[in-house]
């Protein structure tokens, strides 16, 4: 096996954490209609069951930094795979084991913990094993895996639901939807035992010889030696342990603030409002019938996958910042199409085109690029803790958007004679404009530089 093939294989295995991220997020959307009827959920309880995983995501991301430092990126991912499996199995337990909504919520929170841990460790691990020349492309595999997971679970839940009667779906079909996640989560768990530990974490723990062995497996001897010396110098010159770092110093606090801001702004683009409430947007805002919703959801997922590939093959050529500028411009245009047609009460194909342009633009920019930036912009000595803070803040922002979007949609202001249901999209446009400003003024271009070279940018 060539070193290039070996690198690709362990990148794909690590990226399965992203696939489970997308799968676990999407499976509740397919199952919630039937389990809501089974448990006879009120609107409040339904929102709690659907959104409870986000609480686990936030906690998982918050603890993942220290966990990653203590036991390493690889073992952290193994823990996340176990949590995914426990959640999938427990969420689908037969009624004689699971009689309460509380039990289901507990298992959903456990799955959220797995997502939170994986969403920090998987892209960071990939960034730490990948050569600088292709690091952007390798980390983008993580975002690609997320959208493939979301797309595949949509097809799986549709297949399960379509082959059972409504009564069967209410009784046990939704349980099978949860259990379907056991296939990718078990595969992820088994394969993780065959990937090496991060060479940068090994150096952080003083396991220098093992780190050099891993680097030699991933690249030619000259590059491996150069990377090893750079990693060792970085850690030796600036304290070997994250515990000795002053996170409240002006420089480090500033770096964390920039990373956290760009992470939060990814959610304030409105992407999850479109993904979580896509069916409602199509049916209510755009006036399409229920029979059209499935095809349009498939179309959204397909475009998400295709344009993530575009990002994958351009991120190391064009750079991170140009893709953000291009994507943000496209997202603004897409939401303008949707917002103006809603405002003018002229919804139709132009409105749908606006959503598709938005999805495509997000998928080639803020979707994958934020994960690339977060995995590479933080110096070695603060990467684990800083990234866990940024990712936890992203999950908190996800919760804010997912909870506030339906409230804004249903507000009197949004439904008055001026806005006509378009207000949320103009709010999202304003946040997308902020992304362009923040990126221009504060975000460094990281293309083609080693993780150790990037530390010099902040100084």
Instruction: Give the count of beta carbons closer than 10 Å to the beta carbon of residue 91.
Output: 28
Read off the tokens for 285: 């805002």
The more confidently predicted of residues 105 and 352 is: 105
Residues 154, 298: contact at Cβ < 8 Å? yes
State the Cα–Cα distance between residues 406 and 386, nearest whole angstrom: 32
pLDDT at residue 26 greater than cutoff 90: no
**Backbone Cα Rg of the chain:** 22
The DSSP 8-state label assigned to residue 165 in this structure reads: -
Alpha helices in 72-134 (DSSP H): 73-91, 101-129
Domain identity same for 301 and 436: yes
Phi-psi region of 197 (alpha: psi -120 to 50; beta: other; left: phi over 0): beta
* Domain limit, last residue, from 136, 167, 195: 195
Tokens representing residue 386 in the block: 């800083």
User: What are the φ and ψ backbone dihedral angles of 408, each rounded to 5 degrees?
Assistant: -65, -40
**Residue 334 in domain:** yes
Average pLDDT over residues 105-111: 94
145 and 31 housed in the same domain: yes
The more confident residue out of 388 and 47 is 388
For residues 186 and 335, state if they share a domain: no
* 396, pLDDT greater than 50: yes
CB contact at 8 A, 208 and 202:
yes
- 3 state SS of 103: helix
Instruction: Give the pTM.
Output: 0.88
Residue 278 has pLDDT above 90, yes or no: no
pLDDT of residue 239: 47
351/428 same-domain check: yes
pLDDT digits (tens, 9 = 90+) for 33-57: 888 889 888 877 887 887 888 899 9
Please give the pLDDT value at position 98: 60
Is 80 exceeded by the pLDDT of residue 159? Answer: yes
Residues of the domain holding 173: 1-195
What pLDDT score does 99 carry? 66
Rounded distance, CA 397 to CA 345, Å?
30
Residues 334 and 403 in one domain: yes
Mean pLDDT value of segment 361-376: 96
Range from 184-188, 410-414, 452-456 carrying the lowest mean pLDDT: 452-456
pLDDT (average), residues 409-428: 93
pLDDT digits (tens, 9 = 90+) for 304-332: 999 999 999 999 999 999 999 999 999 99
Question: How many angstroms separate the CA atoms of 221 and 202, rounded?
Answer: 18
pLDDT above 90 for 454? no
Helix (H, G, I), strand (E, B) or coil at 408: helix
178 and 66 part of one domain: yes
The domain boundary, picked from 156, 173, 195, lies at: 195
80 and 175, same domain (yes or no): yes
Pick from 8, 259, 15: which is nearest to 125 by CA? 15
Average pLDDT on 249-277 reads 91
Tokens matching residue 80: 């996340």
pLDDT-based confidence at residue 380 (cuts at 50, 70, 90): confident
Mean pLDDT score of the chain: 89
Query: Are both 43 and 158 inside the same structural domain?
Result: yes
56 falls within a domain: yes
- Specify whether the CB–CB gap between 105 and 1 falls below 8 A: no
- Ranked by mean pLDDT, the top range of 191-200, 214-223, 247-256, 400-409 is 191-200
Distance CA(328)–CA(362), nearest Å, equals 7
CATH at residue 43? 1.20.1250.20
- Are the beta carbons of 139 and 80 closer than 8 angstroms? no
pLDDT class of 241 with cuts at 50, 70, 90: very low
Question: Number of structural domains, the chain?
Answer: 2
Tell me how far CA of residue 67 lies from CA of 62, 63, 385, 392, 419, in angstroms: 9, 6, 9, 14, 47
């Amino acid at each position: 096996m060539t070193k290039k093939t070996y690198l690709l294989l362990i990148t794909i295995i690590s990226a399965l954490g992203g696939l489970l991220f997308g799968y676990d997020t999407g499976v509740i959307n397919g199952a919630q209609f039937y389990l809501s009827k089974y448990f006879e959920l009120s609107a409040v309880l339904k929102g709690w069951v659907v959104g409870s995983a986000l609480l686990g995501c936030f906690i998982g991301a918050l603890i993942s930094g220290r966990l990653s430092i203590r036991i390493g990126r690889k073992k952290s991912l193994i823990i996340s795979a176990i949590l995914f499996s426990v959640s999938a199995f427990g969420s689908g337990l037969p009624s004689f084991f699971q009689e309460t909504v509380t039990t289901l919520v507990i298992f959903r929170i456990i799955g959220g913990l797995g997502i939170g841990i994986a969403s920090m460790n998987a892209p960071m691990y990939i960034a730490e094993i990948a050569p600088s020349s292709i690091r952007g492309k390798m980390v983008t595999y993580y975002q690609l895996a997320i959208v493939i997971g979301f797309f595949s679970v949509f097809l799986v839940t549709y297949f399960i639901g379509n082959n059972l009667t409504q009564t069967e779906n209410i009784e046990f079909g939704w349980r099978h939807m949860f259990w379907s996640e056991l296939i990718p989560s078990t595969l992820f768990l088994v394969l993780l035992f065959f990937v090496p530990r991060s060479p940068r974490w090994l150096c952080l723990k003083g396991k220098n010889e093992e780190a050099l062995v891993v680097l030699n497996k991933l690249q030619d001897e000259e590059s491996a030696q150069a990377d090893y010396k750079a990693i060792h110098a970085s850690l030796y010159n600036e304290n070997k342990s994250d515990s000795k770092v002053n996170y409240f110093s002006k420089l480090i606090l500033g770096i964390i603030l920039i990373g956290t801001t760009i992470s939060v702004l990814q959610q304030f683009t409105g992407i999850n409002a479109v993904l979580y409430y896509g069916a409602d947007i199509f049916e209510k805002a755009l006036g399409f019938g229920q029979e059209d919703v499935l095809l349009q959801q498939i179309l959204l997922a397909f475009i998400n996958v295709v344009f993530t590939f575009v990002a994958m093959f351009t991120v190391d050529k064009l750079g991170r910042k140009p893709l953000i500028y291009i994507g943000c411009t496209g997202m603004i245009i897409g939401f303008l199409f949707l917002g103006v047609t809603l405002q003018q009460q002229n919804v139709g194909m132009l409105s749908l085109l606006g959503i598709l342009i938005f999805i495509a633009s997000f998928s080639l920019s803020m979707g994958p690029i934020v994960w690339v930036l977060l995995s590479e912009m933080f110096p070695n000595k603060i990467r684990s803790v800083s990234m866990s803070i940024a990712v936890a803040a992203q999950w908190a922002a996800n919760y804010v958007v997912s909870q506030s979007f339906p409230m804004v949609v249903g507000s009197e202001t949004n439904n008055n004679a001026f806005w006509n249901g378009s207000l949320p999209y103009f709010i999202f446009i304003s946040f997308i404009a902020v992304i362009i400003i923040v990126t221009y003024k504060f975000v460094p271009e990281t293309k083609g530089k080693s993780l150790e070279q990037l530390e010099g940018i902040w100084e």
